Structure 1
Amino acid sequence: MEFGILGPLLVRDAGQEYAVPAPKQRVLLATLLLRRGQVCSPRLLAEHLWDGCPPRSATAALQNAVLRLRRCLGAAGERLETCAGGYRLTVHPGEFDVDRFAALRSRGTAALRDGESELAVGLLDAALEVWRGEALLDVPSDALHREEADRLADERLYTVEARLDGELQLGRRSVVPELRALTAAHPGRERFWVQLMTALAREGRRAEALDAYTRVRQLLNEELGVRPGPELLDLHHRLLCPERPLSARIPAPRSARPVAAQRVGR
């Protein structure tokens, strides 16, 4: 059995996909998946199904949604249990795409820390391939998106950062085009700028690297009102001293947020 929320909602068993057409049932399934194995209270489920404004008939409507969802899930419908305190969905190890992504990411970042760059890149690429689109793409719940989608998007970007660290260590191909696209798409994410400047300098394009620093410094000042963080400042100093070697620092495993945003939030 396969369940997925990293893209459109997915339910698949032995190659057969099961459609969950009703929006409320998709929200219900996504909530149960994200709390797999835990009892979800009717109050929590109603919060997600009606975005904090449940109707008077919410109890009966929730019961009907559970019943219809069981039917949509085919043989897996028996895993959706009614129990004391609410409802619970049993998901076995490896069946949920979020768990597969997290396991591959964890192994990849561990390999990166251990200096096994080739293994790390392979594992981190595999983690990114689990994604089929934006998390909760067709799940219409503002509450779920606030609580989960941004967090998962950050984890995805952190995985991209870590994979690019591995690519920089291997030095087999230019990652400059990819990093230019990433800095354009996520201009406040300082780690991508550090990687872009490092890649440019290693290709002998130190002037372009310094120009990238000027651009990110202006962007941080004008958009966020902050100075570049320590990693950017240190790299800029090393670029001004050609005799000093460049290296791509391996980041500690964490939930990724833009460095600038972290500093603004303090």
Structure 2
Amino acid sequence: MQVSILGPVEACVGGGPAPLRRGRQQLLLAALALHPRVVVPLHQLVGTLWPGELPVDPENALHQLVSQLRRALRPADGAIATAAGGYRLDVEDDAVDARCFERELGEARAALAEERWSAAAAAASRALGLWRGPAIGGVAEGALASHAIALEGRRALAELVLADARLAIGQPETVVTQLGPIVAEQPHDEELWSRFLTALARTGRPAEALHRYEDLCARLAEDLGVTPGPVLRDLHGRLRGEGDQSPLEQVAPTQAPPAQPPPAQAPPAQPPPAQPPPAGRP
């Protein structure tokens, strides 16, 4: 059985798609797939699946939902195991796309740190190729929504690693194509913008890069009431020819923060929401 949560929640059993029902059946599978081979407590699953008003008998409603999911996953229904105080998805990491993504991202970051640019770009491309849409189908609520936000943050990190590797190789035009649609959808992510503007400058379009920087400044001020942070301000100065370093120079990629290791045991009932990096300074 293969479980996919980097997009619409799906399962593949025996070479074909499992007939999952939209809604809580998909969310239950996603909640278990986030922590394969780890018991997820009953109370946590109930809170995840019913973040608002609870059913009259929450545990019974959960047991019925598990039974329905098992029927949908036949003949792999045994993959959902009953354990003391909860349920567990008994599949290997390679059976869950989110875990495969983390493995590829780890390889990409290791290669980037060792300045193996082509290997880093290849691994990051494989990691991003596993995505089919918004994490957990874009329908998660409550605690599960926090996990979806965290997954999207890891996706953005993979985009950064890929952009850094491509810039180091000398493929700025590819980075412009890669990041153009992304910065349009994520106008407050300054790390992505710094790579995008650098790529524009390296393709011989510094004037366009300056214009896009001014547009970004206006958007940050209007949406968040902030100005660009130090990374973008420094890049702006280099675009204007200030300082000793030009954005056209091949510089070592900025290293992203360390990866968060996968949980060794069941996560807390209500994990704190992922905090996005600050867009700039007031």
State the 1:122 CA deviation. Answer: 0.7
Kept after mapping to 2: 8 A contact 1:120/1:163: yes
Kept after mapping to 1: 8 A contact 2:117/2:169: yes
The residue that corresponds to 1:43 in the other structure is: 43
The DSSP-based 3-state class of the residue aligned with 2:136 is: coil
The DSSP-based 3-state class of the residue aligned with 1:3 is: strand
State the 1:187 CA deviation. Answer: 0.9
Deviations 1:134-168 (A, max 9, x none): 11117x54125422111111111111121111111
Percent of matched pairs sharing the same residue: 35
Q: Distance in 2 between matches of 1:259 and 1:22?
A: 33
Letter in 2 for 1:203: T
Unpaired runs of 5+ in structure 1?
A: none
Deviations 1:8-39 (A, max 9, x none): 22212342221212533222211111132222
Kept after mapping to 2: 8 A contact 1:108/1:119: yes
The residue that corresponds to 1:94 in the other structure is: 94
Q: Does 1:74 align with 2:74?
A: yes
Deviations 1:18-67 (A, max 9, x none): 12125332222111111322222221111122224211222222221122
Residue range with higher mean Cα deviation, 222-231 or 100-109? 222-231
Q: Distance in 2 between matches of 1:67 and 1:238?
A: 61
Deviations 1:214-263 (A, max 9, x none): 22222222322222111112112222337633336323244797543486
Kept after mapping to 2: 8 A contact 1:135/1:152: yes
Letter in 2 for 1:38: V
Provide TM-score, normalisation by structure 2. Answer: 0.84
The residue that corresponds to 2:270 in the other structure is: none
The DSSP-based 3-state class of the residue aligned with 1:251 is: coil
State the 1:178 CA deviation. Answer: 3.6
User: Residue 259 and residue 48 in structure 1: after superposition, are their counterparts in 2 closer, same or farther (change >3 A)?
Assistant: closer
Q: Does 1:146 align with 2:145?
A: yes
The residue that corresponds to 1:179 in the other structure is: 179
The residue that corresponds to 1:260 in the other structure is: 278
Q: Distance in 1 between matches of 2:164 and 2:181?
A: 16
Kept after mapping to 2: 8 A contact 1:2/1:13: yes
Kept after mapping to 1: 8 A contact 2:227/2:281: no
Kept after mapping to 2: 8 A contact 1:101/1:127: yes
Letter in 1 for 2:84: A
User: Residue 82 and residue 145 in structure 1: after superposition, are their counterparts in 2 closer, same or farther (change >3 A)?
Assistant: closer
State the 1:129 CA deviation. Answer: 0.7
Residue range with higher mean Cα deviation, 68-77 or 107-116? 68-77
User: Residue 66 and residue 181 in structure 1: after superposition, are their counterparts in 2 closer, same or farther (change >3 A)?
Assistant: closer
The residue that corresponds to 2:168 in the other structure is: 169
State the 1:105 CA deviation. Answer: 0.6
Kept after mapping to 1: 8 A contact 2:31/2:45: yes
The DSSP-based 3-state class of the residue aligned with 1:102 is: helix
* Mapping 1:20-39, distance limit 5 Å: 20-21=20-21, 23-39=23-39
Letter in 2 for 1:184: A
Counterpart pick for 1:250 among 247, 254, 257 = 254
Unpaired runs of 5+ in structure 2?
A: 260-273
Deviations 1:170-204 (A, max 9, x none): 12351324433222211111122211221122223
Kept after mapping to 2: 8 A contact 1:5/1:136: yes
Residue range with higher mean Cα deviation, 207-216 or 112-121? 207-216
Provide TM-score, normalisation by structure 1. Answer: 0.88
